[in-house]
Amino acid sequence: MYLIHHHLPFKPVASDRLFYDHWQYCVHFRLAEVNALRDSLDRVSIDDLLDRRQKWRERVRQRWPHNNFVRGHDAITEQVRTDLYDFAEFLSLSTEPYKMVITVDQCRIYSNSPNLLERIGRLPFVRNPQYSESKITRARNTIALKNARYQYRSYFKSLKLTATEKTQINNFLKDQEVRVSPALKEWFDNPFNRTQDYYFVDYDSELWLTMLALIRPGLIRKTVNIVAK
């Protein structure tokens, strides 16, 4: 049965582009051990990966019985395997294009077919599916803020810096007329030296970017224009 997609509880996600610049819709759900499908939908490959994963966990449990990482994982039961087989088969038989993004036991399926996502949501092993839809509400390479005090926002790359580079960047930004994101400000006060790709700086004049490149070339990942909501 085909459903009109607005009957599904799609949550609008305001953006300057589609998901991954291609997909309009997404369904997000949890499925135990779903990352076993990351590289292959073949049943033999899935079994091989799950067997190796189970053996590794058993060795860790024996050697470090109080290890929280392994204790936090449920057993790989036959039901877990069956659910993965069924989901892999469903995806293999799908004639509608999609993109699958997996993080541990969380799965996101992106597609331009709301009907595909509706069918995924009805699979018996899919619990609490959450639907979202990309809504292009602003020009490309822009970000909308209620209090738009600056013109530009530049995001950092995820890079390992030296302690000296980190200190130099911190001291440099303190002297600039910029707004440092809360996460970046917090990072300057902690002992870690790796930047994250969600750190950003808001500013008006681009001169400081040239200076920053002298301290650490290649630190900026992308720059967007700030517009008022």
The tokens for 198 are 């969600």
Q: What does each of the 229 residues of the chain score in pLDDT, given as a tens digit?
A: 334 445 688 999 999 999 999 999 999 999 999 999 999 999 999 999 999 999 988 888 778 766 665 555 678 999 999 999 999 999 999 999 999 999 889 999 999 999 999 999 999 999 899 999 999 999 999 999 998 899 999 999 999 999 999 999 999 999 999 999 999 999 999 999 999 999 999 999 989 999 999 999 999 999 999 999 8
Strand partners, 99: 110
pLDDT at 73: 66
What's the burial of 27, exposed, middle or buried (CB within 10 Å: 0-12/13-18/19+)?
buried
Helix/strand/coil percent split, the chain, to 5: 35, 25, 35
Can you tell me which residue has the tokens 């490959």?
A: 45
Structural domains of the chain sorted by starting position, each given as residue range(s) with its CATH number in brackets = 5-136 (no CATH), 142-228 (3.30.70)
Q: In what order do the strands lie in the sheet with 127-136?
A: 10-15, 127-136, 25-30, 106-111, 99-103
Cα 24 → chain centroid = 16
pLDDT at 69: 58
pLDDT at 147: 86
d(C-alpha 115, C-alpha 3), whole Å: 6
Number of H helices, E strands in the chain: 7, 10
pLDDT at 2: 38
Cα–Cα distances in angstroms (integers) from residue 59 to residues 46, 54, 78, 110, in the given order: 20, 9, 20, 36
pLDDT at 63: 81
pLDDT at 68: 64
